[in-house]
């Protein structure tokens, strides 16, 4: 007789990956019973519903980790943007005060554009020293004009490309001051040009007696620099007719116009210049005086 026994737990799913067969043959006398036993051993496993619940829990934990990573990335990006662009939200808005004057100018743009333009120009004149912007020289060469220039009593006029800033005026004043000192000490005497007129192939030599006997040229007097918007003027009394002293000034101003402050034109002589207003004598109107 052959008997087949399945040894497995009723609540467990049968395993098909691992089978163990056990054959027991008992030898007895004739007509004895022969038992054939097939045993299937399965490792303990969780139920289907437990596996599904665990899988759902793992997926929820994974989604939570992804969300946390995205939030951290967003925080890092926002912090990076704040550090890069300097934006800090509404914290700095309270530091900016409203400007009633500027609001009035904007309000009158549509009704009266000419009035708004005049107010804006006036505002720029008053606050031009507080406006910070890069200012360089001009690529256009400075024009030089002569209009009945008298060495003993004449104005020298400056027309700048833009209204000069305080540092620009300081540079012009220092240049004119140095020019006046050199001229007053007789440094621009064209009658004593021994080195510049000597041949280049020979060793330079200087005759002190000849230099001492040359008629001196002295810069007699100079006024203060007057500035009005993009115009300026200065009165000079050079005394003697000495063209070299003018060449020295022109050369210096040409370099300044090219590298530092753009000068549109330099005019020697003339009692007045276009757009110059004699009645403007206050700082609020754009007029200033700088001592030389």
Note the pLDDT tens digit of each residue in 205-242.
999 999 999 988 889 999 999 999 899 999 999 988 89
Whether pLDDT at 9 is above 60: no
Name the strand (E) or helix (H) holding 288: strand 287-290
pTM: 0.55
3-state DSSP call for residue 243?
A: helix
Of the listed ranges 86-95, 135-144, 149-158, 270-279, the one predicted with least confidence: 86-95
More confident call, 187 vs 273: 187
Note the pLDDT tens digit of each residue in 238-264.
988 899 999 999 999 999 999 999 999
Buried b (16+ CB within 10 A) or exposed e, 175-185: bbeebbeebbe
Cβ of 286: how many Cβ atoms within 10 Å?
Answer: 20
Torsion of CA 164, 168, 173, 178, to 10 degrees: -140
- CA distance linking residue 268 with residue 114, whole number of Å: 35
Note the pLDDT tens digit of each residue in 66-122.
555 555 555 444 444 444 444 454 444 443 356 777 677 777 777 788 888 888 888
Whether pLDDT at 142 is above 70: yes
How much is the pLDDT for 282? 78
Residue partners of 109: CB distance under 8 A and separation at least 6: 116
Domains of the chain: 95-128 (no CATH), 135-189+216-290 (3.30.70)
- CA distance linking residue 106 with residue 120, whole number of Å: 9
Return the percentage of the chain with pLDDT > 90, whole number.
37
């Amino acid at each position: 007789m052959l008997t087949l026994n399945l040894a497995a737990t009723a609540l467990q799913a049968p395993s098909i990956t691992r089978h163990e067969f056990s054959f027991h043959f008992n030898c007895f006398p004739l007509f004895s019973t022969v038992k054939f036993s097939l045993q299937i051993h399965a490792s303990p496993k969780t139920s289907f519903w437990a596996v599904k619940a665990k899988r759902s829990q793992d997926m929820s934990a994974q989604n939570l980790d992804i969300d946390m990573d995205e939030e951290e990335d967003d925080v890092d990006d926002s912090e990076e943007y704040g550090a890069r662009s300097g934006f800090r939200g509404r914290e700095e808005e309270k530091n900016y005060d409203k400007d009633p004057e500027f609001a009035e100018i904007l309000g009158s743009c549509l009704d009266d554009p000419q009035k708004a333009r005049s107010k804006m120009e006036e505002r720029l004149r008053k606050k031009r020293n507080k406006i910070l912007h890069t200012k360089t020289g001009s690529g256009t060469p400075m024009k030089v004009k002569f209009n009945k220039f008298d060495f003993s009593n004449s104005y020298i006029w400056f027309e700048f490309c833009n209204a000069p800033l305080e540092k620009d005026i300081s540079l012009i004043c220092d240049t004119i001051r140095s020019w006046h000192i050199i001229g007053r000490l007789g440094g621009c005497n064209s009658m004593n040009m021994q080195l510049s007129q000597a041949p280049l192939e020979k060793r330079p030599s200087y005759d002190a007696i000849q230099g001492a006997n040359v008629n001196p040229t002295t810069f007699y007097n100079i006024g203060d620099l007057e500035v009005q918007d993009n115009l300026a003027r200065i009165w000079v009394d050079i005394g003697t007719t000495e063209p070299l002293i003018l060449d020295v000034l022109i050369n210096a101003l040409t370099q300044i116009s090219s590298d530092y402050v753009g000068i549109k034109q330099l005019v020697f002589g003339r009692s007045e210049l276009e757009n110059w207003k004699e009645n403007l004598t206050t700082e609020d109107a754009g007029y200033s005086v700088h001592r030389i």
